A and B are shown apart, each in its own frame.
Chain A
């Protein structure tokens, strides 16, 4: 890899490792110090490597510099020293030299513990996602702002408030106790799912950035699976769901960055390797008796990887949506259920059911109605799509709806 590519790449992968390890050492209240040391390390790297060329082992070089900077920091700042170093020394059984452990094992442990800290129930969900992107995924402020379709200032404020909250709540960077793990994992999984969806359903035109978000969510979920005490069925179900969705990355966007709807996708572009992975994790998820919403959603996503448009497929999807709605209502589940109902039981029944949903502010609702009325009552279908067009906010959605209307005219 060339130097111009290598530094951003290393920044993504190594910045987050250095930050979490230092933050674990200093405590969450000193998260900015950890971030500053990590940033200074990369600043020095970009200066020196430009002059002298790349070191033999760039990652090891970064670790050494980060360690030295951390030690310097501790030596220079007496205040910080008195308060923190005593605690650190206690934790490290009184040795004089502070050990900064950048071993693979400690990096993984610190990342997992940080994941639990960031996804603390006291932190608002949106802030959890931004914090995860910054600390655990090593995203720059600009990238996070792009991902949320907002500006740097908003993200900086959001991150600042989230870190304040971590301090006020005195959130510890540690594994939750055995009894707590399942409950705490629920918040973690919600955040990882949000992170994934942020990439998968965002109207952002930057396809690479969107895929990165999804891949990061999958990487963090995979960390939970590699760890024995968090390798639980519902974690596997979530990863399975993500794999099935991600298998359609290539097929769902055309060269112009426009969305291609499921029924119009070139199934040859579906990623078979990810589909197999999804099946593997779904099998792992079916150990045990508990069925989470992730199990059901993974089941739905599994059926979507089957190409043949059979009654069995749509009947299964319909029943899974019925079950999902019994666990938790959401507008999107209600809409998708009605689509499956049309496929399984026919349009006549689905139209009656769709009219009952009354989701009058949702453009997807009118798109669904338009879809159901197509070939049943085309003028009504056009009227529905036109309402959908006025309600839709993103350009991508408007383009799709316009195409639907043109096909009917």
Chain B
């Protein structure tokens, strides 16, 4: 700690931060633009100027940029003094010369950092009378709007996009007062994290097109703290609504999980909440086989009768439904009749993950990932399967740069200087995957088929255990086992990343072995296992069986939020459905399974319901709905609770907090879930927490076209949040913070005010709670294969996830759908020859009902792999490791098929 004087006050502060960070951390208001807590300092905007005095006798002082000023013992600063504040006023005056002042029509208005800082810096009267610089805007894809005239040239966008997120198609062009931030030509921004530009940009240059399409001011949004259901990482989001429609997803800061950033699937993938495919009311299929809408009451009576009369009732849970809903279903049907509804490999990998979380192997949070200095990725396509993790890994490889900077005594916040010094020096990150990886540019890639990835993993583990690289493995020219072993064993914090994206439990077992081998010598070893969906872990902890055995009959099957047709091949599904007399589906969107049901109960989405999600780190997080769903639509757990009458255990459970306490009681290992967020009884100074800002305009008139009498706002009995602007609106605990706001700070950057230190934890702790702690040893696995290259090369289908297109729900969002790939089968010339196909042909998966995949041949695909995208139509077939591939003789390339040139087509 170091002593400094600021405006006459003696302060004791951390000298590893710059002055701006220190002052913001102390809760001071000091305007800034180019500095960002995650991007560090470059000194471009000059907005955060203060005056520094050489000593007590120095009365003049000199202007310094607080973001570029290190903390030194005895330093004397003035923030409020006239010289400093006049300078800051001049900066904002100059920044605004070319700004169009179009706040009334700008999407950023009302949550604009530029507005906030302009007010804070005190500039009011404008003297500039000359022409403004104007620019042409670009089309940047379905997610992000572009309005360059608003730009104040703070360089945050390119620093975030290029330096932080690794994108290369957004740049600064031209110079002087003609600097242009955009692409070399119009086109979709390629980076999967481009959406963060919306929040990184301090004004309205990059805007959220989903929000713009039906725009609402921030102050008119009704919001809630939610958890993203797009993958297994559980990023915290703010979900916002107006007029019964979801309007946007914004980042919700969690110092342990997502920090300041989301992936584009999470940010732009929730439009499905407003989809026309939503199931609006209960339906019962009549004797003629026609669906009839029915009231909730009648439907429940009908279902109650079915349940009463049934001898066998089974329940199939869901990795995308809440823990609560899965639990109530399990209770309703009995533990023996509960199935997770996961595909085989996913269920197995989920169980492996659970065993790791209960063991002595540490699973780091996303924030902790950034501290690891050697990384081995085994078969996990992070960018497409668990996207936000890829962004953290990209920061982790910078540890080498940070070490160099420490040696050169360059402060780590001096971003440009650290990057210049380090150039391309990086901590090692070995990427063993089957397909090209978006992290290849900062890693050491090896392309192997999944079997060889697993074998490599086993060899690495063995070599670590025996302190020597296996000679056989070393003979494999594609991969240098010894160098991986050396990097991992020399690292102070080695990290193994794996998951289910290759649908290979074998790879996960190998990864566990590697982590286990490392952990024997290094307590700082970390292991991350990513699963396919948001609540895989919850459903795995409730049951091990994935689906009833073939031929097992059921009088009633209740399927919870799970389109089984996307997990199991059509033939298997038809076989199963044949033995189900009454199929009851609880879901939010119409899908292949719901259209086969006898009864359908409309479920609320995450945007309308409360629920608990357990991410792949074992962190239980509560997600709250922003608005009450329409009509009879209700949370799945609510439907199921209402069916539980006469069921002993849940007889008296009416309230979700009672439900959570029951779960904690029945499942002691999940007991901590009750602490994931404050319960419905929580009050801040006697008040509930407001979902609406206190400036919400027109709430009282919103329904005036229907009736001039203002209706009573709906009550929320299930949480401490209100559907109103009445209530506490500022200092809620992080897990209940519906929006971020502080006086003078209307943008998301107000989060500064609620962190224990800048970029640190939230003052009241980061939302969520880690459920599992364990000290037991994890199992040691033995490879089920003899060695690479031994025997015949098996041709196997390798799933490839796509951030846009592979996730069931976000796929129903139009913008995401527009970026999803068409089906393909990617293979190398050898494999193509083996399968007797060439470009212009197609391959068929499995038999009969699977879709055809046009062949695309690339040299760098590993031998024996046929890489196929995980899509709605293909997913069910991709985890079948014994799946048969054959040429589709009936297929002809449709006209205009991309990637097929005419000469490739055979006559």
Q: Do A and B make up one complex?
A: no
